[in-house]
Structure 1
Amino acid sequence: MLTPERTALVLLAAGHSHRFEGDKLSEPFLDKPLAYHVVTALENVPFLTRIAVVSNTGLDFGALGYQVEPNPDPSLGQARSLCHGVTVAKEAGAEAVLVALADMPRVTAAHVYRMFDAADGAGTIVASSDGVQPRPPALFGRNMFDDLLDLEGDEGARQLIKRGHHVVTSPAELVDVDTRADLEKLRKLYGLESDGK
C-alpha cells in the first residue's frame, strides 16, 4: 500500500509559458500567484518530501517547504523536469512520486487521497481523468521510476498514464492554465472581472 508519508510530491513549475506570453505561474488569481493554489491545496498532505522543479521564476517555493530544483533547460520539454524531480525523489528514498503541475490551480487534497486509495503498490500508475482523457496529477510507484527517467520531450508521462488506473473527477478540478484566455475564463467563473476587483 502506498501512503503519502512514503511519497515525494514533484511539482512541475518550469514551463516556458510561450502560449501565455509571460510568467503565468506568478499571475495573480484570487488571493495569490496562480502556482500557489496547488501548493496550498496539498499543504496538509503529509508527503515524505516536496520537490519543485523550476526555471526563471521569482516565486519562492523554498519558503513553502519545497526543495527547489532548477531545470537548466526547460526547452527540452516537460520530461526533463520530470526526470529532475524523480531523481531527487529516488535519492530521498521515496517509494512513489505524485506528479502535479503548478498551472492546475483547482486540484484538491480530497482527489489526491482518492488516488492513493486506488494505488496498488510499487507498480502503481494512477492518473486523474475528466472522464475523457487521463492527465496529471499522476501517482507512480517506485517500479515505474526507471520508465519515468527514460522519458524525453514534451509529452511528459502521457503514454505511461494512458495504461494506468484513472480516477475520475470533475473537469473543473483538472483545469490547467495554458493561455491568458484560460485564466480569464477561470476568473469569470469566480465572478472576477480581473484580479484585484
Structure 2
Amino acid sequence: MIDPEQVALVLLAAGHSHRFGEVDKLAEPFLDKPLAYHVVTALEAIPFMTRIAIVSDTVLDFAELGYEVVENPDPTLGQARSVCHGVKRAKERGAQAVLIALADMPRVTAGHVYRLFDAFVGDDSVVASSDGVQPMPPALFGKGRFEELLALDGDQGARDLIRGGKHVVTSPAELIDIDTQDDLRDLRETFGLKTDHVTPRFPIDPAGAAGATGASPSGD
C-alpha cells in the first residue's frame, strides 16, 4: 500500500489523435463538459503530492485545474515520449511513485485508483488496471521503475511493463478509452446527454474551466 501523498499523478493529454480526426478530441463534449475533464474531476479529491499534465495542441487549460503543465513538443513520436516527460518531472519533485492516467478515459473512478494504491507493495511495484482481459492504464509505478519508464520509446508506452505487473480488475465500462469518433459516439449513446451532440464544440474560456468541472484551481 502507498499513501497518495507520495504519488505524482501524470495525466497524458498529448495524443495526436490521428485516429480521431482533426478536432481536439479531449475538448469534445460529453455530459456537457470536455471529455478530458471527467478524469480530472474523478481524481480531484485524491491528495496526490503533485499533478502533472502532459499536453500538446489542446485548448484545455489544465493549469487552471491545479496541474503543472508540461508541453510535449512532438506527440507524433509516440506515447512513450509523454510518459518520459511526466516521469522526469515526477522524479524531480521527489515522488515515490507515479500514477499514469489517460485523459481520454472519462469513466475512471477514484475508488478504483485507491485499489491500485492498496495493491502497491514496494519501489519496484507495477500495478495496472484490467477489464479482466487486457491490462491498461491507469497504472501505478514505484520509483524503482522510473529508469525503465524514462528509457521507453515509440507508441507502445509502458505496455510491456504493465503486462508484467499486478492487475486490478474493474468493470470494462470504467476503462473505456476514446480513440475514434465511433468510440465517442458509442460513449454518448450509452452514458451521455442529448446536448453532447450539439455544436459549437469547445474551446471554452479557460477562466471558466474550473467551474465547468467543479474543480478547484488550487488542485491538490
Change (3 A) 1:191 1:58: closer
Who is 1:166 aligned against? Answer: 167
Number of residues of Structure 1 aligned to a counterpart in Structure 2: 197
Task: Please give the alpha-carbon distance, in whole angstroms, between the structure 1 residues aligned to 2:192 and 2:73.
Answer: 38
Structure 1: tracts of 5 or more residues without a match: none
Who is 2:78 aligned against? Answer: 77
| TM-score when normalising by structure 2 | 0.88
- Displacement of 1:192 in angstroms is 3.5
Report SS of the residue matched to 2:112: helix
Contact 1:184 1:194 in 2 (8 A): no
Who is 2:150 aligned against? Answer: 149
Relative contact order (alpha carbons < 8 A, sep ≥ 6): 1 or 2 greater? 2
Who is 1:126 aligned against? Answer: 127
| 1:74-119 CA-partner distances (Å, limit 9, x unpaired) | 1110000000000000000000000000000000000000000111
Who is 2:109 aligned against? Answer: 108
| 1:4-46 CA-partner distances (Å, limit 9, x unpaired) | 1000000000001111112100000002100000000000000
- Displacement of 1:196 in angstroms is 5.6
- Displacement of 1:190 in angstroms is 2.2
Does residue 47 in structure 1 map to residue 42 in structure 2?
Answer: no
Who is 1:18 aligned against? Answer: 18
Structure 2: tracts of 5 or more residues without a match: 199-220
Task: Please give the alpha-carbon distance, in whole angstroms, between the structure 2 residues aligned to 1:75 and 1:31.
Answer: 29
Report SS of the residue matched to 1:9: strand
Q: CA RMSD in A?
A: 1.1
Contact 1:126 1:164 in 2 (8 A): yes
Report SS of the residue matched to 1:139: strand
Change (3 A) 1:196 1:155: closer
Contact 2:12 2:102 in 1 (8 A): yes
| TM-score when normalising by structure 1 | 0.98
| 1:143-189 CA-partner distances (Å, limit 9, x unpaired) | 00000001000000000000100000000000000011101101111
Task: Please give the alpha-carbon distance, in whole angstroms, between the structure 2 residues aligned to 1:194 and 1:132.
Answer: 33
Moved over 6 A (4+): none
Alignment of 1:32-71 (within 5 A): 32-71=33-72
Of stretches 13-22 and 59-68 in structure 1, the one that deviates more from structure 2 is 13-22
Change (3 A) 1:189 1:50: same
